[in-house]
């Protein structure tokens, strides 16, 4: 089976992000996963649209932007303008998920939805036809380097069943390593987000190959 690897730049060296993005591009990544945190929806602050816009000239790879913010709708256009290709919002971050997904697609971008570990897959049952990607959080969002929560396997399998023949990618984020990547993919994931597993050593190409 073919899986895509999306290194999370949350684990990169923030003092030289442009260089890090070029390095993972050269190392063979498929997507660049960009974690946006607001210190409100999740207990951490990271980067905003200005940084994403500054990184955009450094690669032609897909910018997979994960918005862990609330409210989300007022900021979607800014992340579109910054160069995002996929914009993923949390099902828990707003009352009107359908509207948020419509808004992303109205700008010609791919729309994703993310589910926290305690959020059931039923939360997205009625928006499946608005989706290009479903991001299953296998840790509680906010920090890198956490351990994979095993209940995510069942959730991935159930979402795979829900999707049917729709062209929706299942992405998994949190605690993905070379040791569990095969099991995550076997459950139905096709995009693996990895931070520590890619950036833990200087051999980015080797680390990405090990995950693949």
For residue 155, what are the domain limits? Answer: 4-211
* Residue of 35, 38, 64, 132 marked catalytic: 35
**Residue 141 pLDDT greater than 90, yes or no:** no
**Residue 1 pLDDT greater than 80, yes or no:** no
How confident is the model over 15-65, as pLDDT tens digits?
A: 999 999 999 999 999 999 999 999 999 999 999 999 999 999 999 999 999
**pLDDT for 144:** 78
**Residue 131 pLDDT greater than 90, yes or no:** yes
Tally the domains of the chain: 1
**pLDDT for 27:** 98
Which CATH number goes with the domain that contains 91?
3.20.20.70
Check if 35 is active-site.
yes
SS3 state at 141 = coil
**pLDDT for 70:** 97
Q: Which of 111, 107, 74, 62 is nearest to 90 (CA)?
A: 111
| Two tokens, residue 105 | 């697609």
**pLDDT for 122:** 97
Give the span between the Cα atoms of 191 and 3, in whole angstroms. 6
| Two tokens, residue 125 | 């049952």
End-to-end Cα spacing for the chain: 10
**pLDDT for 142:** 81
* Residue of 30, 38, 64, 173 marked catalytic: 173
How confident is the model over 73-87, as pLDDT tens digits?
A: 999 999 999 999 999
**pLDDT for 160:** 98
Measure CA 2 to chain center. Answer: 17
**pLDDT for 146:** 84
Measure CA 146 to chain center. Answer: 15
Per the prediction, the chain carries an average pLDDT of 96
Average pLDDT over residues 199-208: 96
Q: Which of 126, 124, 132 is nearest to 108 (CA)?
A: 132
């Amino acid at each position: 089976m073919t899986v895509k690897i999306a290194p999370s730049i949350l684990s990169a060296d923030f003092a030289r992000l442009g260089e890090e993005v070029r390095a993972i591009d050269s190392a063979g990544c498929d997507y660049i996963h960009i974690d946006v945190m607001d210190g409100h929806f999740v207990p951490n602050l990271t980067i905003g649209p200005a940084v994403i816009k500054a990184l955009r000239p450094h690669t032609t790879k897909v910018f997979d932007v994960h918005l862990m913010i609330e409210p989300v709708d007022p900021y979607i256009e800014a992340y579109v303008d910054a160069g995002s290709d996929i914009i993923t919002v949390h099902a828990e971050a707003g009352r009107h998920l359908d509207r948020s997904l419509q808004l992303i697609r109205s700008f010609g971008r791919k729309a994703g939805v993310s589910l926290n570990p305690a959020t059931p897959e039923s939360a997205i049952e009625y928006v499946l036809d608005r989706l290009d990607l479903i991001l299953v959080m296998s840790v509680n969002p906010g920090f890198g380097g956490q351990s994979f929560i095993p209940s995510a396997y069942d959730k991935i399998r159930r979402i795979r069943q829900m999707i049917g023949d729709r062209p929706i990618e299942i992405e998994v984020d949190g605690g993905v390593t070379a040791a569990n990547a095969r099991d995550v993919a076997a459950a139905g994931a096709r995009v693996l987000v990895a931070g520590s597993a890619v950036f833990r050593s200087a051999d980015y190409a080797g680390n990405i190959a090990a995950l693949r």
